[in-house]
Amino acid sequence: MRDRVGPAVLAPSERRAHRMITLAVAVVLVPLLLWPAVGSIVWLATPWQSVDVVAYDLTVFDDTYREHRAFGFALESAKAPFAVTDYVGSSPGGAPADPWPAERPDLVALIDAYGVYTNDDGALDPQGSHRVSGRFAADDARTVIRWAADGTFVYGEASLLAEPTDPEAIDLLSGLFGVEPTGWVGRWFSHLERVPESLRRGDWRYRGPGLVLLNGDDQVVLSGAEAPMGRGTLPDGGSFVAPVQSWFEVVAAVPTPDADLTLTDDPVAVRTLSAAGIPAVIPLIVRTDRTVFVAADASDQPVAFLFRKVAGGAAFMRAMPHASGTAFYYHVYVPLIGSLIDQAATTSADRMQTR
């Protein structure tokens, strides 16, 4: 009969090693597991910031409010009051939404002015040729500029300085943001063969990834190009490198940009762009004392932002690696909007104290 073997006895050094490993796991895992619950309580207990925000969105095809929903998530994370259904522009389907408020807000976010379109069959279609919703008018621009002169912070992004925005409004807003549009817009596509017909020019035989730039009937296609890369600094002094896979506008900047967008670094592609009068590196984020302009469709992001109602959730998401399609949102957009909210809230509080 075999002898029974009793439990193994660990040497003192092995016992110490096991205790150290157990302690390390407890120190790392326990706070990580408790953080969402504790952070949620802290977020709920934190008072809402005293800041009045107005969002402008003309591109609302349905009640998902995709164009400004991600903006609302960023505000919610910063504990700034905002309802996704409370905005200026067009209602789902293109009907007019609420008008500009009578009282000057602390922050105006000009998110999207592209509009709602239908195709020849009358169905809502982002690539349709029949515009339903109105366009950003010169009077709208004057309202925003008047508020900015009185202390309102203004955020704007791509689609604002191009058709169908009124040409006079483009001139007014260009002066406000310190940028000059060139008329060129572009976007990176993972599959050029899937580019909508309305964006194609001439004999289209492109396949695979690539960059498409348009200026009316003029077009430049960089077949095989990787997604444009944004590089720069944020208001908190941190730096970032993140791809941009949304629509962008080619603009020139009066002040020095906080961030640039590198369209390509391939020498052949650079020469192709140069022949069309397009720089290979363009301004991406341009800031003045009270304005921020992002030359990309930054708010149009299919994100969920699961930790937006958790204290420290924005910093946690910023520290995490993300897929190329959402990296710009978490690493750049959320902290940028958060900084704007903090500035606007501080200014609002100072104004209330001087009354």
> pLDDT tens digit string along 61-84?
999 999 999 999 999 999 999 999
Token pair 């302009």: residue = 293
Domain of residue 89: give its range.
46-354
> Do 166 and 136 reside in the same domain of the chain?
yes
Regarding whether 86 and 22 lie in a shared domain, the answer is no
Average pLDDT, the chain: 89
Q: Do the domain assignments include residue 3?
A: no
Indicate whether 205 pLDDT > 50: yes
Distances (CA, A) of 174 to 145, 179, 206: 11, 5, 34
In this prediction, residue 159 carries a pLDDT of 87
- 197 plus 128 within the same structural domain: yes
Beta-bridge mates of residue 98: 88
pLDDT at residue 350 above 80? no
Same domain membership, residue 210 and residue 174:
yes
Phi/psi of residue 182, nearest 5 degrees: -105, -10
Peptide bond into 164 cis (omega under 30): yes
Q: Rounded to whole angstroms, how far apart are CA atoms 172 and 206?
A: 38
Q: Are residues 172 and 213 in the same domain?
A: yes
* DSSP designation for 194: G
Shared domain for 28 and 137, answered yes or no, is no
Distance separating alpha carbons of residues 253 and 259, to the nearest angstrom: 11
The pLDDT of residue 8 is above 70: no
Distance CA 139, CA 121 (A): 33
DSSP string computed for 271-314: HHHHHTT--SEEEEEEE-SSEEEESB-TT------TTTTSTTHH
Amino acid at 222: L
Q: Whole-angstrom Cα distance, residue 298 to residue 340? A: 15
pLDDT at residue number 166: 96
- Domains: count for the chain: 2
Choose the weakest-confidence range: 30-39, 47-56, 277-286.
30-39
pLDDT in tens, 132-143: 987 899 999 999
Please check whether residues 104 and 210 belong to one and the same domain.
Answer: yes
Q: Which two tokens stand for residue 299?
A: 């708010």
Q: Which of 345, 330, 312, 303 is nearest to 70 (CA)?
A: 303
If 0-12 CB within 10 Å is exposed, 13-18 middle and 19+ buried, where does residue 47 land? exposed
Q: What is the pLDDT of residue 2?
A: 47
Q: Would you say residue 330 has pLDDT above 50?
A: yes
The token duo for 123 is 């169905």
pTM of the predicted model as reported, rounded to 2 decimal places: 0.88
Is 187 inside any structural domain?
yes
Whether pLDDT at 38 is above 90:
no
| SS3 call for 48 | coil
Residues 125 and 30 in one domain: no
Q: Are residues 26 and 70 in the same domain?
A: no
Residue 17: band (very low, low, confident or very high) from pLDDT cuts 50, 70, 90: low
Q: Say if residue 150 is in the same domain as residue 39.
A: no
Q: How far apart are CA 213 and CA 278, in angstroms?
A: 9
